[in-house]
């Protein structure tokens, strides 16, 4: 899992405040209590809006799911663009931003989407796979070899997971580990053959 650039991803507009509050409440409940707890009433209460206010922005629970997926798509596209234009290159960018602290909103949306079930879960997984495919395509383009690009992609997943279980919450995965692996990745990418 790759969670984007530091802070909010560059070039992504923020949704209107009330809509963002409702979507944020939906994600928070999904993350903390599970999908079955994401009733319209619970989301409205967590967001501090009336049910009518919630329905103004999201006419149904399915619309909330679509809002989550659309925001994930928006942040994912911005991350792919940032990765493509990163001065240090896509490989360095991908590895340096593969941690739970680089973009809290992107990270939470990614995890929330992965927790959806049934039809919403199928849609979410398809979008998550599509995003991973975009990252892999950029890595393959930069590296010139699919197997090595996949290795870098999986290394990013490992850095992400290490960040999730870090002794110091909020400590970026790159603090120490990345300094160890980047030279090895550079060596691997510099060698001929597969």
Task: Evaluate whether residue 8 is within a structural domain.
Answer: no
Contact 53, 44 (CB under 8 A): yes
Specify the pLDDT at position 103: 79
SS3 state of residue 169? coil
Range with lowest mean pLDDT among 55-59, 64-68, 104-108, 112-116:
104-108
| Residue 148 is assigned to a structural domain of this protein | yes
Q: Is residue 5 part of a domain?
A: no
Confidence of residue 7 (pLDDT cuts 50, 70, 90): very low
Q: Is residue 39 part of a domain?
A: yes
Categorize the per-residue pLDDT at 175 as very low, low, confident or very high, splitting at 50, 70 and 90.
low
Nearest to 153 by CA among 139, 143, 172, 174: 139
CA-based nearest residue to 181, from 80, 99, 86: 99
pLDDT reported for residue 177: 77
- Answer for the pair 68, 27: CB distance below 8 angstroms, yes or no: yes
pLDDT in tens, 103-145: 788 989 999 999 999 999 999 999 999 999 999 999 999 999 9
In a domain, 181, yes or no: yes
Q: Supply the mean pLDDT for the chain.
A: 87
Task: Enter the tokens of residue 93.
Answer: 């960018």
pLDDT at 170 over 70: no
First to last CA, the chain: 24
Rounded CA separation 42/54 (Å):
11
Query: Residue with structure tokens 């991908």?
Result: 94
Mean pLDDT value of segment 81-102: 90
For the residues 9-19, what does the mean pLDDT come to?
64
- What pLDDT is stored for residue 8 in this prediction? 45
pLDDT over 90, % of the chain: 65
Count of domains observed in the chain: 1
Asked, for residue 125, whether it belongs to a domain, the answer is yes
Structure tokens at 111: 């995890």
Q: What is the pLDDT of residue 189?
A: 87
What's the CA gap between 67 and 95, in Å, rounded? 28
Residue 178 lies in a domain: yes
Whether the predicted pLDDT of 31 surpasses 80: yes
Task: Determine if the pTM surpasses 0.95.
Answer: no
CATH number of the domain bearing residue 106: 1.10.357.10
Tokens 């992965």 belong to which residue?
114
List the domain range (segments joined by +) for residue 91.
17-190
The pLDDT of residue 4 is 58
Question: Is 81 inside any structural domain?
Answer: yes
């Amino acid at each position: 899992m790759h969670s984007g650039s530091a802070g909010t991803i560059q070039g992504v507009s923020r949704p209107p405040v009330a809509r963002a509050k409702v979507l944020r409440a939906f994600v928070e409940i999904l993350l903390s209590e599970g999908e079955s707890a994401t009733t319209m009433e619970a989301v409205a209460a967590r967001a501090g809006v009336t049910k009518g206010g919630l329905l103004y922005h999201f006419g149904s629970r399915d619309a909330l799911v679509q809002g989550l997926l659309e925001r994930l798509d928006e942040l994912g596209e911005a991350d792919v663009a940032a990765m493509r234009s990163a001065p240090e290159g896509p490989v360095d960018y991908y590895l340096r931003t593969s941690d739970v602290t680089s973009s809290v909103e992107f990270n939470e949306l990614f995890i929330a989407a992965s927790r959806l079930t049934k039809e919403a879960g199928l849609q979410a997984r398809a979008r998550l796979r599509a995003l991973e495919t975009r990252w892999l395509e950029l890595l393959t383009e930069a590296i010139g070899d699919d197997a090595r690009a996949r290795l870098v992609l999986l290394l990013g997943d490992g850095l992400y997971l290490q960040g999730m279980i870090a002794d110091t919450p909020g400590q970026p995965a790159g603090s120490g580990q990345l300094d160890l692996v980047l030279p090895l990745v550079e060596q691997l990418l510099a060698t001929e053959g597969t």
